[in-house]
Amino acid sequence: MRKHFTAGCIALAAVMFAFSFAVIAADAPDTISIKPALWSELTKGPVEFSHKKHAQEYKVACTECHHKYENGANVWKQGDPVEKCDKCHTEPTITGEKKLSADQQKLNLKLAFHTNCIECHKTFKKDHPDTKAPIVCAKCHPKGDEKP
């Protein structure tokens, strides 16, 4: 009896485990080659981003990267439609973006990606010095270099 109960639990757990993956896989793509339509060409080549690993293996919440602000608060929640970053971050400058006004910088597309990706990796590296989370250009950009 006890044995059956245990086996039942394992089977149930296995089903739930598979289901949770199916749910995440259904609404979050595995790997994304990020090529925003706002830029006609990429000077550094498209960044390959392991979307599924970030969400599952590294356990980064969707809301760390996806948002919709209302009165200064992020009201986006899992299950809501996901817009591409350049739907809202429509300021296209890729060099000299430091000269933009603070408001323009918030909507600058390159800064949106860099702030999101690199700030988290830097914070993570403080507690995990051996992390593989990249901070240097060439580790994210196939045609990258070390100069900003």
Q: Indicate whether 44 belongs to the interface with ligand HEC (CB under 6 A).
A: yes
Contact pattern for ligand HEC over residues 1 through 40, marking x by CB under 6 A: -----------------------x--xxx--x-xxx--x-
Q: Indicate whether 118 belongs to the interface with ligand HEC (CB under 6 A).
A: yes
Q: In which residue are the tokens 């919440």 written?
A: 61
Closest approach, Cβ 16 to ligand HEC, in A, equals 17
- The alpha carbon of 29 is separated from its chain's Cα centroid by a whole number of angstroms, namely 11
Contacts of 91 (CB under 8 A, 6+ apart): 97, 100, 104, 105, 107, 108, 109
Among 38, 68, 92, 93, binds ligand HEC (CB under 6 A): 68
Among 25, 116, 129, 142, binds ligand HEC (CB under 6 A): 116
d(CA 35, CA 143): 14
Annotate 14-42 with b (16+ C-beta within 10 A) or e (fewer): eeeeeeeeeeeeeebeeeeebebebeeee
Looking only at residues 71 through 100 of this chain, which bind ligand HEC when binding is defined by CB under 6 A?
Answer: 78, 82-89, 94
d(CA 136, CA 146): 6
Q: Indicate whether 142 belongs to the interface with ligand HEC (CB under 6 A).
A: no
Q: Which residues bind ligand HEC (CB under 6 A)?
A: 24, 27-29, 32, 34-36, 39, 42-44, 46-47, 49-51, 53-55, 58, 60, 62, 64-69, 78, 82-89, 94, 105-106, 110, 112-118, 120-121, 124, 128, 131-137, 139-141, 144, 148
